Copies of this chain bind each other. A is one copy, B any other.
Amino acid sequence: MDEFMQAALEEARRGRAQGGIPIGSVIVHQGRIIGRGHNRRVQQGSVILHGEMDAFENAGRQPAAVYREAVLYTTLSPCPMCSGAILLYGIPRVVIGENLSFMGEEALLRSRGVAVEVLQAPECIELMREFVAECPALWHEDIGED
């Protein structure tokens, strides 16, 4: 696991320590983290601040040229909303911690030309497994399921 997925994982763990959903993300441009975040459903009552969205928001308003050279790291396969944000801003590459707990819109991303890499990192898998076992209702709410 490289330093950027490690940073995304730290964000996920920070979210869990706050009583939230343990999914984290960082956006990297030219080898530097320009935005980082974690899911804020519990902490802020937010239905849109998934980890990836929080990272986009914290990166702030960036020129299109920056997004087009950026890499998004996320501990979990990105849901339709976060995948849509990746497409909106033209992020060319996404590195995913794992997709065993949840399979997001990887096929859609690839079909639009995004390079998608899945690490299946044991630390990411374990963090989500523990969370889903402890808080199934909260998890299902976050992915729009009953």
Residues in A lying within 8 Å of B, measured CB to CB: 41, 45-49, 53, 56-57, 59-65, 67, 79-85, 87-90, 105, 108, 140-141, 143-146
Closest beta carbon of chain B to A108's beta carbon, Å = 8
Contacts of A105 in B (CB 8 A): 84
Copies held by the complex: 2
B61 touches A57 (CB 8 A): no
B64 touches A57 (CB 8 A): no
Contacts of A81 in B (CB 8 A): 81, 84-85, 87-88
Contacts of A85 in B (CB 8 A): 48, 80-81, 84
When chains A and B are docked, how far (Å) is the Cα of A81 from the Cα of B87?
Answer: 7
A65 touches B146 (CB 8 A): yes
